[in-house]
């Protein structure tokens, strides 16, 4: 699990992970103090997948009982990004075909 945390100086925090073919990524936890999260989903050539976000507690994300919602862009086949406003507690990516890269930046 990766965690985005606000710094004392308010600098953006970022995380990136690769999701293999047919897999669901580990969640990126969005800690308190992060007001907005920009997520970018980058599919490999011929890949497709979607991002998901949760508003469940960090405890539920940790123990696998969180509720996940698909991001507004649905399943994508080319680079897409979106801005999610609080209270988002975690994001992850789901590969349908091929590998994806999920990038998240909190501010």
The tens digit of pLDDT for each residue in 43-81 reads 999 999 999 999 999 899 999 999 999 999 999 999 999
Structure tokens at 44: 């490999």
Cis (ω within 30 of 0) for the bond into 87?
Answer: yes
Pick the CATH number of 7-106 from 4.10.410.60, 2.60.120.220, 3.60.21.10, 1.10.3720.10: 2.60.120.220
Has residue 14 got a pLDDT over 60?
yes
What is the pTM for the complete model shown? 0.89
Number of H helices, E strands in the chain: 1, 9
Has residue 11 got a pLDDT over 70?
no
CB 49 within 8 A of CB 93: yes
């Amino acid at each position: 699990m990766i965690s985005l945390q606000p710094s004392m100086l308010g600098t953006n925090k970022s995380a990136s992970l690769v999701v293999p073919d047919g897999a669901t990524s580990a969640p990126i936890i969005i800690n308190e103090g992060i007001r907005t999260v920009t997520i970018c989903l980058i599919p490999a050539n011929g890949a497709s997948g979607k991002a998901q976000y949760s508003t469940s507690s960090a405890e539920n994300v940790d123990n696998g009982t969180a509720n996940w919602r698909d991001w507004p862009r649905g399943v994508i086949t080319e680079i897409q990004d979106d801005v999610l406003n609080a209270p988002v507690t975690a994001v992850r990516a789901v590969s349908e075909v091929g590998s994806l890269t999920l990038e998240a930046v909190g501010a």
